[in-house]
Amino acid sequence: MCLKVIPGIAILFLEIKKTSFTKKNIMKLFLKTVASVIVAFAGISTYAQTKLEPGKNSFEAKWIVDEQYNMKWYAVKDTMKIEVATIGTNVVKGKKNVTIVTEVKMKSNPAPWIDSAVADITTLEPIMHSSYNPQRDMGFRFGKIVKGFYNDKIKKTNTVVSDTMAAPYFDSNIYPALVRWLPLSEGYTCNIPIYDYRPDKSGLIYAYVKKVESGTYTAKDGRHKVWLVTVHDEISNDAGSYSVFSIDKADRKLWQQEIVMTGRKMVIVRE
């Protein structure tokens, strides 16, 4: 914001120095500069509030590739890191669809948590999502009406899901990958509409890319130039929560995700 607005004010002072010092001339310059500043603010506001929706222009398809990788999930307390789980991710790029399968193996429970999401390869419009773990199972087919089920294994209840959507959206299980495939650059921001289901609340919510900065990440094979992408989403009820993704500039590999919540901090690190 300052880079766009301050030069306009600087130009005003430079012009005053070389203009006849009359009330009429000064007022004309002032109004001209104010108009420029207003336009600059309007441009910044529009950019900051960019809303994505499934489509070719919302992401860069060249970053979608077949890949398989593992990450360690740690809880962080002071200088201690306590291992919580291992997360395996498999991305399969097909001719028509992209499929993302994640398998989470908790330290405290050997039974895996498996999520599968399928989206259109050209738009990332969601097609289906299934999720299975020891506590609950759920599955959805996406469209203007989201249809599916939620089976609570603890309460032994089964809920039929039918949510009418008023606007285009991404699957909540796809959006962390979508962050890596965005047209990232310094200062980039956007709002990502996503569908998320919880027994107490379901429907359209948002993930907000708040900030993108350049940085470096030190891995086992050396230092890498990365995008540091700060994201807040409404999946958590914690308004102060956010994640910082460390994404390789060369190939969009995810090196680390730092998650900050009120009173808690977690980090997920590529093995």
pLDDT at position 22, please?
A: 47
Average pLDDT, the chain: 85
Q: Which residue has the higher pLDDT, 15 or 233?
A: 233
Percent of the chain with pLDDT over 70: 82
Question: In terms of DSSP H, where are the helices of 100-152?
Answer: none
pLDDT at position 27, please?
A: 44
Within 10 angstroms of residue 8's Cβ, the number of other Cβ atoms is 17
Query: 77-105 pLDDT, tens per residue?
Result: 888 999 999 999 999 999 999 999 999 99
Percent of the chain with pLDDT over 90: 74
Is pLDDT at 169 greater than 80 in this prediction?
Answer: yes
Is pLDDT at 38 greater than 90 in this prediction?
Answer: no
Is pLDDT at 210 greater than 90 in this prediction?
Answer: yes
What fold characterizes domain 56-270? Answer: outer membrane lipoprotein receptor (LolB), chain A (2.50.20)
Tokens 């796809």 belong to 174
Average pLDDT (173-193) is 96
pLDDT at position 236, please?
A: 82
Is pLDDT at 154 greater than 90 in this prediction?
Answer: yes
Those residues whose C-beta lies under 8 Å from the C-beta of residue 166, and which sit 6 or more positions away, are: 204
Binned at pLDDT 50, 70 and 90, residue 49 comes out as low
Is pLDDT at 24 greater than 70 in this prediction?
Answer: no
Average pLDDT (107-117) is 93
Residue 116: CA atoms inside 13 Å, Cβ hemisphere, count? 11
Is pLDDT at 202 greater than 70 in this prediction?
Answer: yes
At 35, the amino acid letter reads A
At 124, the amino acid letter reads L
